[in-house]
Structure 1
Amino acid sequence: QNIGESILYLWVEKIRDVLIQKSQMTEPGPDVKKKTEEEDVECEDDLILACQPESSVKALDFDISETRTEVEVEELPPIDHGIPITDRRSTFQAHLAPVVCPKQVKMVLSKLYENKKIASATHNIYAYRIYCEDKQTFLQDCEDDGETAAGGRLLHLMEILNVKNVMVVVSRWYGGILLGPDRFKHINNCARNILVEKNYTNSPEESSKALGKNKKVRKDKKRNEH
């Protein structure tokens, strides 16, 4: 009987030891717990870096302001239309827009050609002058659109009037009767009238004086050359 009790006691102790060892293996030790806490801390740091409000707002404001500046530069400028001039069934009308870059010139032309009446014009002559402050020079160009020498004459007028950062388009609807040199007079008069109206140059009287002086200077130069 004593031997049986001893064996039973040994078995109970053995089972108890096994259960204790098993419970110790399943419980996380200090190292495991520390590692888990470090992982949590790293995750929190990542979250803080990803959600810094001040840095994000500054970067966003910078991007918005930069985009806004580009939009302002490339924005379609307002287009004004002058009073038409009609002579022998031909009609001339000037259109004016402030421009500060060649891209705006293209935008203005595209917008004008959306108008069916302007798009159907026999000629759409234009010229523009843009002042580059950094280089202190003018970026300028012109287009005849089939009306030979009309674009160059229009640009020359703008040079004489010393206008800048502006574009003028003159539409002509041909009426079937040849006008000869008078067509150039009407083109320039349309352009000058709208430039005066929009305060890009002086009154028509002063502009005429400037034109007269310029012609006189050119004649004097020719005489001196001969």
Structure 2
Amino acid sequence: MAEVINTENEEDLQSQIEEVEALSAIYGDEWCVIDEASRIFCIKISDDLEEPKLKACLQIILPPDYPSTAPPIYQINASWLRGPERAKLANSLEDLYVQHAGESILYLWVEKVREFLVEKSHSAETVDQPEKVNLTAEEEVDDGEDIPDFNTLKLNTESAHLFMDHGNDEEVPPIKHGSAITDRRSTFQPHLAPVVTPRQVKMVLEKLYENKKIASATHNIYAYRIYCEDKHSFLQDCEDDGETAAGGRLLHLLQILDVRNVMVVVSRWYGGILLGPDRFKHINNCARNILVEEGYAASTVRQSLGLLLIQEWKSEKKILK
């Protein structure tokens, strides 16, 4: 059996090498090798206009069993891309993978992203500087090239499991909405749902985005942890949705609380006033409150964690000074 697996991996590796060579020839300088040994790449994509309005960076990890049995692991970096639109684009990439399972898929993915950018550029909703749409001043970036953050990409490798379960027999888990926190006109509201499969994570996000108010939030940060009893391990992931490092902090909170089979989403509506590190405090406080309210964390743990987080915020402020 081991010899068969090795043969398959060799065939996959050869397919990857040929695909990467082809993409490099097609896209030239737009194609970047981040870490060849780890099979990490990225490609800069823009619309087809003479003066591109929209840009995105598609970061890719090729697992050993791609393309035969596993999809590429990906992350889309685009400061203007938010909640429902990000979900729509991700779903289109996943649909492409399902339609072409077992085949090399990267070229189709790149062109699908480009098609999405062109449609967005030509839509009536496009503004003169779409990269700045719905950004907080804290998160504004220049209009230059996105710098690949492959450390974050590695964190999100578990998202590959989202491709693997396309059953239609699962119901949307019940979603609880927690109390909002408002500070200097910015509002933070948590949402919680029990989840036991990655498919349910997607369903919860899709259901939340049906709410126009939630869909219009400046950021919808989320994290989840699912305990896999057969492997005695956790399937976990997070998303910043433009609020850099917020998703990782939220996942860290879930890990400290040792919660399982739950996802938390925190919506933030930016009020126009900079909050600095306080925004992270509000995001985690919201999440912690709803976890306690729904019985996922004890109040005594909540108090000790509060002291820990206060120390973190103080340390950060000292560094910023």
TM-score, length basis structure 2:
0.43
1:56 aligns with none
Match of 1:53 in 2: none
Which SS does the other structure have where 1:107 is aligned?
helix
How big is the shift at 1:133?
0.3
Q: What residue ranges of structure 1 are gaps of 5+ in the alignment?
A: 1-69, 217-226
Name the structure 2 match of 1:116: 212
Question: Once the 2 structures are TM-superposed, how far is the Cα of residue 208 of structure 1 from its aligned partner?
Answer: 2.9
- 1:113-141, Cα deviation, whole Å (9 max, x unpaired): 00000000000000000000000000000
Matched, 1:80 2:168: no
Question: Distance in 2 between the 1:207 and 1:179 partners?
Answer: 23
Alignment RMSD: 1.8
User: What's the offset of the Cα at 1:213?
Assistant: 6.3
Listed one character per residue, the Cα deviations across residues 48-74 of structure 1 (whole Å, up to 9, x for unaligned) are: xxxxxxxxxxxxxxxxxxxxxx766x2
SS of corresponding position for 2:242: coil
Normalising by the residue count of structure 1, what TM-score does the alignment of the two structures yield?
0.61
2:189–2:286 CA contact under 8 A, matched in 1: yes
> Does the 8 Å CA contact 1:160/1:214 hold for their aligned counterparts?
no
Secondary structure in 2 matching 1:121: coil
Residue 126 (str. 1) matches residue 222 (str. 2): yes
Residue deviations 1:160-206 (CA, integer Å, cap 9, x gap): 00000000000000000010000000000000000000000111x42
Structure possessing the higher radius of gyration over alpha carbons: 1
1:154 lines up with 2:245 in the alignment: no
Unaligned runs of 5+ in 2: 1-166, 312-321
Structure 2 CA distance for partners of 1:207 and 1:102, relative to 1, 3 Å: same
| Structure-1 separation of matches of 2:177 and 2:231 | 31
Change (3 A) 1:139 1:211: farther
2:10 corresponds to: none
Poorly superposed stretches of 4+, deviation over 6 Å: 213-216
Q: How many Å separate the matches in 1 of 2:264 and 2:246?
A: 12
Are the aligned partners of 2:281 and 2:309 in contact in 1 as well (CA < 8 Å)?
no
> Using a 3 Å threshold, how does the CA distance of structure 1 residues 214 and 86 change in structure 2: closer, same or farther?
closer
Pairs aligned (count): 145
Q: Please name the residue that 1:30 is paired with.
A: none
